[in-house]
Structure 1
Amino acid sequence: MRTTASVVFCTALLLASAFSSVAQTPEAQSAVPANQPAEVSFQFDHTGLPVPRFTLRIHENGTGTYQADQAETPATQTSMRGQAAQHVDRPINLTPGVVAKIFKAARGLNHFNVECASKAKNIADTGTKTLTYNGSDGSGSCVYNYSENKMVGTLTDTFLAIASTLDEGRKLEFLHRYDRLGLDAEMNSFADEVKEGRALELGTISSTLASIADDTAVIQRVRLRAAKMLEQVAADRP
């Protein structure tokens, strides 16, 4: 009886070990639960820019994060105060329309299991870009400097426009605190970017815009422009 019990016990241990080994395989570790929102991320890397590296991670429910490494900004003749290099890690929430376009493109591109990079020679370096998809319906990624694929190009422009708005929020916060007179020219420039579609998702910096709009020490036309942008944010939200 003891021998039989020992055999059963050893067999159970071997089976438990086998199941544990399977659970630790890369495939098992990378599996995404069916109830977890799919995620699309865009990573950008280009040395020499004010924000040389950033990553946008967007979940299908609209939530996400913006992580960026901002380079040091020296003081200038118009702004006597510079900014130290810093790392940014902040949550964001995008509008349903933009999120739907992002995920429709990602799935249309087979979860980025495609050749993104152009094979043309002598293309200017516009930064290394990485698109990644991770969800219960599949996963994949592609890396490129420039892509001739129109869907990839449109998706790239969308992410760059979102990042542009987030970076603009940083500039406006700095000017609002240290150089209020500088807000006039900056808001003019930003309004043009928004009008031309090079800055998207104003809701990601709504608190900054509200702070400017409510500050009576700021020039009236700047406050009005910030208030108008907040009206656009409200109109974009369901």
Structure 2
Amino acid sequence: MAETHVLFVEDDDVIREATTLALERDGFKVTAVPEGLAGLAAFRERHPDLALLDVMVPGLDGVSLCRRIRDESMVPVIMLSARADAIDVVLGLEAGADDYVTKPFDGAVLTARIRAVLRRFSQASTAAADQAEAGVMSFGDVELDPDAMEVRRGGEPVALTPTEMRLLLEFSAAPGSVLSRDRLLERVWDYGWGGDTRVVDVHVQRLRAKIGQDRIETVRGFGYKLRG
């Protein structure tokens, strides 16, 4: 089996070298660069399986780099932030990141988060296959074809990231039912432990922007539900 290739963009020499060694010990192939423009060039040249981006890097900051990557690819992206600041977290997620990890971090925790992101990307097609027998599902002007992994709104194709697709598949498996943030973290983000529910909230916002603001209803104090 080919090694999973991680692009790691981090300007702190000590963190970059130590994290690279830790990831390589865990079986990853790592391309590590110290700034954003070099990161973008490496991404285009090396085609990594996952991008690990520090928020504050010179040349092209991590959030801007995430946007550039997302313009070209659906590859999973994890942001690294030196603080659990809401602005850093939300900006990274709104740029299209799938998850984030706060520094300082434990190497085992980082590896677990990377594997969780990769695992749910590989499971997106499995989740779709589980619903394929139902055929094309309609929710207002939104059509979801799990077999083809396609979404259309008003007949026009809608481009979803794999995380957004898994989120929509989770909602569509129980339309009209309220799904808690904790359940979505467990089912969509594969968290077997408590996670930051801001990840859920921002991805729901991104999904709403694509399929319609009124399609996913907030049930205050409980979670979200998909309206038919």
Q: Same fold (TM over 0.5)?
A: no
Structure 1 length-normalised TM = 0.30
Higher alpha-carbon Rg: 1
